[in-house]
Amino acid sequence: MSIEEYSAPESEKEFITCGTYLNCYCPQCNINFNQGESAFFNFVSPNGKFGELKLSPYLCVHTRESTLSIPQGKEIKDMICPHCKKSLIVSDEKCKICGSSVARILIAALTKIVPLYICMKVGCHYHGLSVEDEKIIQLDNSTEW
Ligand SMILES: [Zn+2]
Ligand SMILES: [Zn+2]
């Protein structure tokens, strides 16, 4: 790879490797969710409790910490931007592995900002790009985050 990659045609895929630090943004208010080594979100648990969720911003590092413990296999009811308080869950996409709801955030890929979908089921590590973006960007080890 050289400096020439910046002038590569659109048809050339960008490849984001495991361990890449992803800056995550709210699609509604554009705030950066990252604070150092974590990305911070608010969420609503399956039984309606409000909590805080911390995700690793590194691709393939799928640590999730939350202020409430949610059993494996349960779906988070809502994921919310801590700044604008809007829901990040979208209705037009579902998890491609388990069919659960997904939240949509924006990530700064190598040279672009693209939406990333994250599965809301605890224990499912699905995260993916839109079909359109998958044509230009490939995530390393794309079922694990
Ligand atoms: Zn927001
Ligand atoms: Zn899933």
Per-residue pLDDT reduced to its tens digit, 36-76: 999 999 999 999 999 999 999 999 888 888 999 888 999 99
Q: Using DSSP, how many helices (H) and how many strands (E) does the chain show?
A: 1, 12
Q: Are 55 and 105 in contact (CB under 8 A)?
A: no
Q: What is the pTM of this model?
A: 0.85
**Neighbouring C-alpha atoms within 13 Å toward the C-beta of 72:** 3
In the structure, what pLDDT confidence band is assigned to residue 144 with cuts at 50, 70 and 90? very low
Tens of pLDDT, residues 2-28 = 444 455 455 678 888 989 999 999 999
Ligand 1 midpoint to CA 115 (Å): 14
**What's the full length of the chain, in residues?**
145
Q: Tell me, what amino acid is at 118?
A: I
Q: Name the DSSP letter for residue 33.
A: -
Rounded-to-integer distance, Cα 28 and Cα 84, Å:
8
Point out the ligand nearest to the CA of residue 32.
1
Ligand 1 midpoint to CA 51 (Å): 16
3-state secondary structure of 134: helix
CA angle 51, 53, 58 (to 5 degrees): 175
Q: Which residues surround ligand 2, an ion (CB under 5 A)?
A: 95, 97-98, 100, 119, 121, 124, 126
